Structure 1
Amino acid sequence: MIRFAPLKVAAFLAAVAAAPMAMASPVCTKAPQAKWMTPAQMKGRIAKMGYRDVKVFQVSGSCYEIYAHTKDGKRAEVYFNPVNGAVVQNNVD
C-alpha cells in the first residue's frame, strides 16, 4: 500500500488547481467590443510593428492575441489591447 504525505498531496493539488490560472490571458481592456479596433485595423498595426508570419490571430478574453515572428525571426506570443493596439504581454522565444 502506498502512503502519501498530507503535505505532498496538498502541494500537488494546489499546483494542479493553479495551472489553468497561469495559462489565462491577461486583462487587456474593460471596454466593450464595440469600442475595439476591427481585426483588419489591428492586423495592419501588427504588421507596422514588425511582426510577420502571423500564424494565429484571435480574440483571447479581452485581448487580441497573435502567434507570429519578430523582426529578428524569434517566435512570439503577443497580447494586445484591442482599443489602442498597445502590447500588454509579449512572450518571445
Structure 2
Amino acid sequence: MKLKLIVAIAIAAATPALALASPSCTKEPQSKWLPEDAMKAKIEQMGYKVRTFEITGNCYEIYGKDKVGNRAEVYFNPVSGDIVQKGD
C-alpha cells in the first residue's frame, strides 16, 4: 500500500513539469533553419518586442511583450517562422 502511495505522489509531483515541456517545432536539421537575425526581424514584424531570444530543443523561443504590451513566451518553427505555441 505504501508503494502505491509513493508512486501516486511521484506522478502528481511530476505532472506540472510535464505540462511545461517545450513543444516539438521541427524535424529539419539546423542547416535548414532561418538565420537568427532573419527570425528576429520576422518576430518583430509580427508585433513582438523581444527581450530574450533562444533555441529551446528544436524551436526558436522568445520572451518579451506582445502587440498590446502583455508578457509573451512564444515558440516558433525555426524553418517556417510560424508560431507553434504561446504562453505567458
TM-score by length of 1: 0.84
Distance 1:23 1:90 in 2: 11
Deviation, structure 1 residue 55: 1.7
The aligned length equals 88
Distance 1:74 1:17 in 2: 29
Runs of 4+ in 1 over 6 A off after TM superposition: none
Deviation, structure 1 residue 7: 4.6
* Match in the other structure for 1:11: 8
CA deviation digits over 1:1-47, x for unaligned, max 9?
Answer: xxx96554322111233444322210000000000001000000000
- 5+ residue gaps in structure 2? none
Q: Which has the larger radius of gyration?
A: 1
